[in-house]
Chains A and B, each alone.
Chain A
């Protein structure tokens, strides 16, 4: 029975591919950690936000090169065979990208743009390296977590008006997620934590408004008449 020899060499081949992937993912991980550390400045000093975003973007460029290498390692049609290795690191990068785009422009980054920034495909073309929808959504949820922290620190740093737009953004995102029919899986579990982030930010808005610290802008009156 040489079937077993054949299987052993198959396993060996697989092991080598995994080793290569692991090495690249390790490099990507260390880059994304650096980006995450750079972006921590937003909780400390609002005037440095712009610079932190540009710094993060240069790191994203580095990641793009690494993802190009990673794409070469994946045998065609076998994205999901190895995707366990990189799912988490892409998620984290997506959350950072979404954060940067929000800080710069105030809107939600689309999946297309994320894929462009990382230099990978958006849609799945038979198992090549692409941005998986679930990974993207998980990344967004990770970002909201960071935003609820940001909302607290923004107040501490004295920029009260920002909280309102943050609240708007997060509640829009929340209603977006409610359009999805989630199965009982990892994504749903993570989605369930979104409401705590929403609540946290709403509480901050409440605290500020009962003390008259928020000027009744158009946005608020609109929100009240709309409801």
Chain B
């Protein structure tokens, strides 16, 4: 609400400014070469800002839908025996994101440098990668890399225009890092539903992926994001290891109660603040 208010205010200011301009100097506008130049610049700047806003909006749509897909995937429960049905729905919704939402983004970026607008769309891409790879993980597939996913972002529309959307490897890796949080949650859920085999499986997967991330060289630009994700990933891994430890020591029944004692604190600060 306050944000909208601010925006309106700014709009009003803008209008007032342009009114002032008109009252004061009609003669300035037409004759002065500086004013003439700046009128051109103004158009270009507005165009850029508008495109940025549209991309932010498109990215936000992708973020929301991806979060919902992830939420849906967490509903998979060994007791309900609903795995295939949930996966099927998730796959369909992911497909829809690929064919519709990303087409919007690809269209906007046609002829532009994707890096110029990366900040507008980064959140959406990462959330999508998270949902996509989580879905793949649950299907026991090997995870796709960015080139494989990128193949889905090639479009040919009815009016014979071709669009494509390049997936930036750094963004992919940041999104994949988010996956570990979901895997951890999946591990805890499995514990709740008594699917202990799955706990060990997820734990192994997390340990594996964490050690791979440790082998990476320093990532430029988004370095700060990256180190933050690494510490979250470590926390998730520890949490899973704790679950497995409890399973081994105390057996299946007790672990559900006690496993959280030592582990909840670890992730409390680093949680995404979602749900």
Say if the beta carbon of B158 comes within 8 Å of chain A.
no
Closest B residue to A132 using CB positions: B116
Query: What are the interface flags for A122-145 relative to B under an 8 Å C-beta threshold, 1 for contact and 0 otherwise?
Result: 001011000001100100000000
Q: Are A12 and B217 CB-contacts (below 8 A) given A173-B34, A180-B45?
A: yes
> What number of A residues sit within 8 Å (CB to CB) of B?
40
Say if the beta carbon of B273 comes within 8 Å of chain A.
no
CB-CB under 8 A from A180, the residues of chain B are 38, 41-42, 45
Among A7, A14, A83, A133, find the residue whose CB has the most chain B CB atoms closer than 10 A.
A7
Say if the beta carbon of B224 comes within 8 Å of chain A.
no
CB-CB under 8 A from A215, the residues of chain B are none
The reply to whether A7 and B173 form a contact with Cβ atoms under 8 Å apart is yes
Among A12, A107, A111, A176, find the residue whose CB has the most chain B CB atoms closer than 10 A.
A176
A contact patch SS: helix
CB-CB under 8 A from A1, the residues of chain B are 142-143, 208-209, 212
Among A4, A124, A179, A181, find the residue whose CB has the most chain B CB atoms closer than 10 A.
A179
Chain B interface size range: 35 or more
Say if the beta carbon of B268 comes within 8 Å of chain A.
no
Say if the beta carbon of A211 comes within 8 Å of chain B.
no
Closest B residue to A81 using CB positions: B115
Say if the beta carbon of A224 comes within 8 Å of chain B.
no
CB-CB under 8 A from A81, the residues of chain B are 113, 115
The reply to whether A179 and B35 form a contact with Cβ atoms under 8 Å apart is yes
Considering only residues 183-218 of chain B, those with a C-beta below 8 Å from chain A are 208-209, 212-213, 215-218
Considering only residues 1-16 of chain A, those with a C-beta below 8 Å from chain B are 1, 3-4, 6-8, 10-12, 14-15
Say if the beta carbon of B82 comes within 8 Å of chain A.
no
The reply to whether B46 and A4 form a contact with Cβ atoms under 8 Å apart is no
The reply to whether B39 and A179 form a contact with Cβ atoms under 8 Å apart is yes
The reply to whether A80 and B21 form a contact with Cβ atoms under 8 Å apart is no
Closest B residue to A137 using CB positions: B41
Q: What is the distance, in angstroms, from A225's C-beta to the closest C-beta of chain B?
A: 12
In Å, the complex CA distance between A108 and B38 comes to 11
Which of B25-33, B93-101, B122-130, B241-249 contacts the other chain?
Answer: B25-33
Can you spell out 12 A-B residue pairs with CB atoms less than 8 angstroms apart? A3-B143, A7-B173, A10-B169, A126-B112, A127-B113, A127-B115, A127-B116, A133-B44, A134-B45, A176-B35, A180-B41, A180-B45
18 further A-B contacts with Cβ under 8 Å, apart from A15-B220, A127-B115, A179-B38, are A3-B145, A4-B213, A7-B169, A7-B173, A18-B220, A80-B113, A83-B115, A133-B44, A172-B28, A175-B35, A176-B38, A178-B21, A179-B21, A179-B39, A179-B42, A180-B42, A181-B46, A183-B49
Residues of A within 8 A of B (CB): 1, 3-4, 6-8, 10-12, 14-15, 18, 77-81, 83-84, 107-108, 110-111, 124, 126-127, 133-134, 137, 172-173, 175-183
